[in-house]
Amino acid sequence: MNIRANILLRVYLAFGLIVLFALAVFFRLGQVQFVQGKKWKAMADSLSTRYVNVEATRGNIYSNDGSLLATSVPEYELRMDMYAGGIADDKVFNQKVDSLGLKLAQLFQDKTAKDYARYLRKGRQDSARYLLIHRKVGYSDLKTIRTFPLYNIGKFSGGLIAVQQNKRILPFQALAARTIGYKNENVANGVGLEGAYKEYINGETGKRLMQRIAGGVYIPVNEEAEVAPKDGADIISTIDVNMQDLAQSALEKQLILSKADHGAVIVMEVATGEIRAVANFSKVEEGVYKEKFNYAIAGNQDPGSTFKLASYMALLEDKLVDTNTMVATGNYKIPGHMIKDSHGSIGVVTVKKAFEQSSNAAIAYLINSKYGADPKKFTDHLYDWHLNEKMGLQIPGEAMPAVKNAKTNKSWGKMTLPQMAYGYEMQLTPLKMLSLYNAVANNGKMVAPIFVKEIRRLGNPIEQFKARVINDKICSDETLSKIKKMLEGVVLEGSGKQIVYNPLYPIAGKTGTAQVADANKGYKANKQYQASFVGYFPANKPKYSMIVVINDPKGSYYGALVSGPVFREIADRIYASDIQMYNDVPTRLVGSTGNPPTKAGQSKATQKVYKAFGFKPLFASKSEYYNIVDTSAGEVFQENTERKGVMPNVSGMGLKDALYLLGNAGLKTKVYGSGKVTAQSIAAGTKVGKGLGVQIELN
């Protein structure tokens, strides 16, 4: 063989080997891809793991009286590993899958038993390792499901995978819902208390190792999280559940009655600044109102006549007027404009009377004539009372007040000062106005309202809050005394007399009616009004302050007629339920003169009643029935033991006990009168026979 042939043979041989190797590679690739593809894909998936966050259980929100306002409850998403250890055998699975389908259908009632069984078999056929069974399953249902066929083989062997999620619920549903707020991924800071205290409530997230399986689905590697989450702290709010319920029901009722657009009510404890109730309702359709916006803290509008408190307080503090200064009402003419009293003139009256009857003309004249040459002197009072500043509330959303100043506001004109006098050309929230009235009730101390009083973790306080003092003394004691009398006069003799006055306890406050300006067309566009009433009670010893604001009522729009009834209803119910506000309830001690009237009767019942009232009677025996002897030391109870054939002593007893004893003695009784026994026809201790008649008189 020549050299050329030898070389070609070697080339062909090498080429053939390369081709054979290439064919072997392609064959193996095809085998791996098409024959063993599922096996190797599952293995690749199983090698992919990652850590995911585990949400902590969020802290609870409680009311002032300990009622639960918001809490988190566990909710589960149920999945199933169709090839878990205990059900890997087809025989075991096929024997019980129909029974499992029946149980699931009976519990959830969203599919038939056949549909569930068919769904489970399809999951088995697809080798599903994380098959969705059901979402939003409660803990009690989960306990039941763990007893179902297949799932009862073992916690892990049966294939059931329960992924816990936390669901936020409000036990009182709509009660204080806007104040409680909510957590929303689309709202950065959240809403209400849920948003303001999210760092405490949310807790600390944990970590869980998850493994990816076929289909790109991740399942937990272990039942428990590798890094356990830290539960959130609890928030103790200042809200009182009963007062909140009162505020919401009274406001909603009046909104429906007056067909108003929206309204708000706030109840605050005078001394502490703690908000006991805050209600906000907006019309969603005719006769239906929901909490959609927090007007109490974010609803900036002209306050109207309720602002006259600030105007008169400035005048009195500067000693420019006194309560007996005379002033004209009805009309006050400014070049180019006439300020009128909607209810007409009441003549020339005292400053006190003008305030009580809410004369716009009177206060516009007083402010314009006394401060017209130096408006800053007036607005300095408003700024000293911090009416132009936010109060730094504990919940987000507080609106920035707008109070004009002659030197800084370009819109200041000849009408600004007189209109500011009765609450126009400014923007204040209902809570801002309430804080001013609360300061008067609090002997001049203005405080920033609070919604949260304490934060607790595992029942232990970790932070406590007190109201921040905005102004230690808004005015002198002399001015304060006069202003209080004027506020009381509004209810006793003025615009609030017919609706708000209650003879059982004194109320101090002020009505307010303001025309609401349209953002583009001003005040003359639609002629909408805002009706208000703000005050405090009991006026002689203030405990609570309250404001009621109703926007765009149809028909009557005056503050006394629209907001007054809401204030009166809430105040009456609060007063009736708070025994500490009753100043005329005498304290009576057992042993002092004048013991409570008492009937003779069964010993156990008598002792129970006396114990409930805190009395300490002297029991002279341990018999089943007692008679009473009055003594200067209290009530002494004598033994009244039944003796066969002897007439019992029923004097002083009620009819029920007397008939019981006389019946046991075999006597036939005739009864005259009502009350307790005063006389019996057969003397006690007399021998009697069965069937003998006896008469008893009751008075």
Structure tokens at 326: 């005379």
What's the CA gap between 144 and 507, in Å, rounded? 58
Domain topology for 51-237: Penicillin-binding protein 2a (Domain 2) (3.90.1310)
Against a cut of 0.75, is the pTM above it? no
679 DSSP β-pair partners? 697
Which pLDDT does position 630 carry in this prediction?
Answer: 41
Which pLDDT does position 45 carry in this prediction?
Answer: 53
Instruction: Using CB atoms within 10 Å of the CB of residue 26, give its burial: 0 to 12 exposed, 13 to 18 middle, 19+ buried.
Output: exposed
Pairing state of beta strands 693-698 and 668-673? parallel
- Side chain identity at 654, as an amino acid letter? G
Q: Please choose, from the candidates 67, 87, 75, the residue with its C-alpha nearest in 3D space to the C-alpha of residue 127.
A: 87
Which pLDDT does position 593 carry in this prediction?
Answer: 44
Pick the CATH number of 243-579 from 3.40.710.10, 3.30.870.10, 3.40.50.1860, 3.20.20.70: 3.40.710.10
Which pLDDT does position 677 carry in this prediction?
Answer: 85
Q: Check residue 304 and give left, alpha or beta (phi > 0: left; psi -120 to 50: alpha).
A: left
- What are the residues whose beta carbons fall under 8 Å from the beta carbon of 521, sequence distance 6 or more? none
Which pLDDT does position 590 carry in this prediction?
Answer: 44
- Could you read off the pLDDT of 321-351 as tens digits, one per residue? 999 999 999 999 988 789 998 888 999 999 9
Vertex 147 angle, CA 145 and 151, to 5°: 75
Residue 364 per-residue DSSP state: H
SS3 328: strand
- Side chain identity at 66, as an amino acid letter? G
SS3 622: coil
Residue boundaries of the structural domains of the chain: 51-237, 243-579, 601-698
- Could you read off the pLDDT of 610-623 as tens digits, one per residue? 666 666 555 544 55
Q: What parts of the chain have a pLDDT lower than 50?
A: 585-594, 620-621, 628-638
CATH code assigned to 601-698: 3.30.10.20
